[in-house]
Amino acid sequence: MAMRAQRIGKANPAEDEAVYQAILRALLEGKLKAGTKLAETPLADIFGVSRERIRKVLHRLGAERRLEMIPNRGARVPRPTLDDVRRVYEAHRVLEAGVLSQLVLRVDDLLLARLDAHLAEERAAAQRGDRATSVRLSGAFHVHLVEALGNPELSRMLGDLLSRSSVMVSVYEPAAQSICAVDEHGAIVAALRDRDLLRAIAVSREHFLHVEGRLRLDEHGASESENLAAIFAPVKPLRRKARSAQS
Amino acid sequence: MAMRAQRIGKANPAEDEAVYQAILRALLEGKLKAGTKLAETPLADIFGVSRERIRKVLHRLGAERRLEMIPNRGARVPRPTLDDVRRVYEAHRVLEAGVLSQLVLRVDDLLLARLDAHLAEERAAAQRGDRATSVRLSGAFHVHLVEALGNPELSRMLGDLLSRSSVMVSVYEPAAQSICAVDEHGAIVAALRDRDLLRAIAVSREHFLHVEGRLRLDEHGASESENLAAIFAPVKPLRRKARSAQS
DNA sequence: GCCGTGCCAAATGTGCACATTTTTATTTTT
DNA sequence: AAAAATAAAAATGTGCACATTTGGCACGGC
């Protein structure tokens, strides 16, 4: 019994984060198609970490409602119903209405200036046809609104909602028109400048309904995304235990 | 080696739930004082389950922001700052404003009748001095409002917020006056009946500010709650491995 | 007398070896 | 031959044995 100094218990929280971020990123970028099964053992091989670590990350993502966990059957990328998407959008709409109701009470020139600056950025990106930036800035507008309240609770809520709708967008939304119209954002700021809560809420509501209206109505049965190894390829294996599971 | 048929791997999800509910309940009922450390091994002994099971539950509660998890140092009952409490209340206020903005667009007689019935219950409980029921119904009012929208996302958000503020209430709120005034709830319903969004939001806002205003301003250093075994005593041990850890 | 240093006990984190459940493939029966 | 039944294979869930880290305490130095 030669005291096999096992290499267990490394206590490396960075590894957890790395795996978590990698899967989350793939999820947010839409690289993982809806309905794909995320088995523990293959992922452990791909990332070169123990299965328990994968398991922990998967359960965490499940708790955040970003993965669908079925007891004894593992984790799957959720396949949201059109109704699910609508509910998330509605929640976003409701939350923003609340944010606006609080915001009209404390608008100041500084905030308005910041929002105007953001609108200018959005317009610039739209004019030069930079669609990627447009999409990013379009989402950032709503983040700006909620962060103006300086309440981490609310910011986190909206963040969760946004990340989830981002994933859903990749399923149901036509890629071309997925950006919010800059005019509508401008209208919200204008209403805010006038301290007109009812108009702000109405405009915001219209805005979200527009986005919702663009959702594709057909539920195309998202196919399983094969070869997971390729999806996580850009991420360097943390340990060199991973072998290419090429078929 | 007589094939020690180990009793591991029982795959009993009910046990998880039981432990989770027990701790959550103690948390919500304020039996666990803020700052109390929840070590894994003692809890495992108390509940008569394995440490891993406790660990899983503790991490889940941490993910739900109901416990404060410190790496390598375990779980503690959070000791919220007064600012923390205010932020949760503000989030609740903002969310309800959004709910109301959506609700005025779809109020019908059925909803109003239900709310009236609830108000009647509240008044009855208040008149007969049933404080426990009053507190419960008072929270249920806000739940009714959000559930009227029929959106599970929003309901879950409010549920999280409510449960957290419930815990905080036990720290900062004077026990006697912690109930919402029925009149204020009635005023919200009245504004809803008139489809007057601005008034509904204003009344709701006032209502929450009243509750916030009653918070105790002194941060009393909540002492550690000793003898955990007694706190979880009403819960029957799941296995008979627990011995009374009386000092 | 007080602070820095090093050891000891306790609590948390992790990998592994199983048990259990699910899924798939094969066989048998009507 | 199709469907039900059965067995094998794979994947998930769990307890346990460690390793690692943390906190306290004694000892010694300034």
Residue B116 and residue A116 in contact, taking contact as beta carbons nearer than 8 Å: no
Residue of A nearest to B102 (CA): A94
Task: Point out the residue among A11, A91, A201 whose CB comes nearest to the CB of B151.
Answer: A91
Nucleic strand D within 7 A of Cβ A247: no
pLDDT category, B231, cuts 50, 70, 90?
confident
- Specify the pLDDT at position B2: 38
Query: Which of B64, B99, B197 minimises the CB distance to A94?
Result: B99
B1 near A CB under 8 A: no
Question: What CATH code would you report for B82-213?
Answer: 1.20.120.530
| pLDDT tens per residue across span B95-109 | 999 999 999 999 999
Q: State whether the beta carbon of B7 lies below 7 angstroms from any atom of strand D.
A: yes
Mean pLDDT of B17-41: 91
CATH class of A13-78+221-231: mainly alpha
- Residue A120, min C-alpha distance to chain B (Å): 28
Point out the least confidently predicted range of A8-17, A148-157, A183-192, B57-66: A8-17
Residue A245: C-alpha distances to residues A92, A223, A231, A241, B24 (Å): 41, 20, 12, 12, 44
Query: Taking CB atoms and an 8 Å limit, are A99 and B98 in contact across chains?
Result: yes
B10 against A164, higher pLDDT: A164
Q: Is the pLDDT of residue A24 over 80?
A: yes
Lowest-pLDDT range, A69-78, B34-43, B130-139, B195-204? B130-139
Check pLDDT > 70 for residue A7.
no
Q: What is the mean pLDDT of residues B11-18?
A: 80
pLDDT band, residue B55 (cuts 50/70/90): very high
Instruction: Name residue, tokens 């009245």.
Output: B190
Select from A115, A142, A109 the least CA-distant residue to A123: A115
Enclosing H/E stretch for A38 = strand A37-38
Q: Is the pLDDT of residue A134 over 90?
A: no
For B75, which DSSP code?
E
| B129 vs A: CB within 8 A | no
What is B13-79+222-231's CATH number?
1.10.10.10
- Collect all residues of chain A within an 8 Å Cβ-Cβ radius of residue B149: 90, 94
pLDDT > 70 fraction of chain B, expressed in percent and rounded: 81
> Nearest to residue A229, comparing CAs of A1, A26, A80?
A26
| pLDDT at site A213 | 81
Q: What is the mean pLDDT of residues B195-203?
A: 97
Say if B13-79+222-231 and B82-213 have the same CATH topology: no
Domain spans of chain B?
13-79+222-231, 82-213
Specify the pLDDT at position B4.
Answer: 40
Residues of B in Cβ contact (< 8 Å) with A201? 101, 197
pLDDT digits (tens, 9 = 90+) for B167-196: 776 666 655 555 567 789 999 999 999 999
Q: Collect all residues of chain A within an 8 Å Cβ-Cβ radius of residue B66.
A: none
Interface contacts (A, B; CB < 8 Å): 85
With a pLDDT cut of 90, the percent of chain B lying above it is 55
CB A182 within 8 A of CB A139: no
Q: What is the pLDDT of residues A145-201, one digit of tens each?
A: 999 999 999 999 999 998 888 777 766 665 555 556 778 999 999 999 999 999 999
Q: What per-residue string of b and e applies to A129-143 under the rule 16 or more CB within 10 Å gives b?
A: eeeebbbebbbbbbe
Cβ <8 Å between A98 and B102: no
pLDDT at A224: 65
Is pLDDT at B21 greater than 70 in this prediction? yes
Partner A contacted by B13 (CB < 8 A)? yes
The span from the CA of A118 to the CA of A108, in Å, is 16
Q: Is B152 on the interface with A (CB under 8 A)?
A: yes
Q: What Å value separates CA B35 and C1' D21?
A: 22
Segment (H or E) for B184: helix B182-193
What is the model's pLDDT at position A166? 78
Q: Can you give the pLDDT at residue A216?
A: 67
**Could you say which nucleotides of strand C lie within 7 A of any protein CB atom?**
11-23
- Flag the least confident range among A69-73, A195-199, B37-41, B172-176: B172-176
* B69 secondary structure, DSSP code: E
Question: What is chain B's mean pLDDT, rounded?
Answer: 84
Of A94, A96, A205, which is closest to B154 when you measure between CB atoms? A94
Chain A residues near residue B9 by CB distance under 8 angstroms: none
Predicted confidence at residue A233, as pLDDT, reads 72
Q: What's the pLDDT at A222? A: 53
Which region among A68-77, A118-127, A213-222, B128-137 has the lowest average model confidence (pLDDT)? A213-222
Residues 198-237 (B) near nucleic chain D, CB < 7 A: none
Given B71, B151, B197, which is nearest A198 (Cβ)?
A: B197
Position B44 pLDDT exceeds 60: yes
In chain B, residues 57 through 96 whose Cβ sits under 7 angstroms from any atom of nucleic acid strand D: 72-73
Read off the tokens for A21.
């971020």
Query: pLDDT band for position B3 (50/70/90)?
Result: very low
What is the mean predicted confidence (pLDDT) over B209-220? 71
